[in-house]
């Protein structure tokens, strides 16, 4: 029986991409990496794992709809049925959302609905809260507003710096995301 084919979207170093790729018995085959930043660290990781990459620069397109049409075409050519966002720093538009409705999942470094959007770890740190965490959720048209699939709290310790908190949150992300992917696909 062949596995479900998935794509991972990432914009940065690719630590969550790496955690997904290193998961034993992952319930899907990652057949494509989509990246909006030429030169991003995740591209080297994709090469290492033998995952083809589609790299694009949004500013070279007239609109989000235009580059998302091309992304959807690449996803369909690769037989992708699920999309996992892993540090992808763009908001999914209607073109992508309609093509993969209910099949796009994101991981976010806070306990949503708290601290949506960029720099969630910094937001939590500056808000002086005792607990933040990690959320895995479906994507909808809003920013980090889709239905929540799983959450895991992370205490903010008195001695934490933003860097130490980020490291502890990433550790949780790297364990939680692959587990949730497997639960969704099995």
Catalytic residue set:
108
Nearby residues of 22 by Cβ (< 8 Å), 6 or more positions away:
none
How far is CA 87 from each of CA 2, 70, 108, 159, 177, rounded to the nearest angstrom?
27, 20, 8, 26, 12
Specify burial of residue 27 (Cβ count, 10 A radius: 0-12, 13-18, 19+): middle
The CA distance from 52 to 7, in Å, is 10
């Amino acid at each position: 029986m062949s596995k479900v084919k998935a794509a991972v979207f990432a914009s940065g170093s690719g630590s969550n991409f790496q955690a997904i790729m290193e998961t034993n018995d992952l319930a899907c085959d990652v057949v494509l990496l989509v990246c909006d930043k030429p030169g991003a660290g995740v591209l080297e990781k994709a090469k290492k794992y033998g995952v083809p990459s589609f790299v694009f620069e949004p500013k070279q397109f007239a609109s989000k709809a235009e580059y998302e049409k091309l992304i959807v075409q690449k996803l369909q050519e690769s037989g992708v049925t699920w999309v996992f966002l892993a540090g992808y720093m763009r908001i999914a538009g209607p073109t992508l959302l309609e093509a993969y409705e209910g099949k796009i999942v994101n991981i976010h470094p806070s306990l949503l609905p708290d601290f949506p959007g960029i720099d969630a770890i910094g937001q939590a740190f500056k808000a002086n809260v005792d607990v933040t965490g990690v959320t895995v959720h479906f994507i909808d048209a809003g920013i980090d507003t889709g239905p929540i699939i799983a959450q895991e709290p992370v205490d903010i310790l008195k001695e934490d710096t933003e860097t130490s908190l980020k490291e502890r949150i990433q550790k949780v992300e790297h364990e939680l995301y692959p587990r949730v992917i497997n639960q969704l696909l099995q």
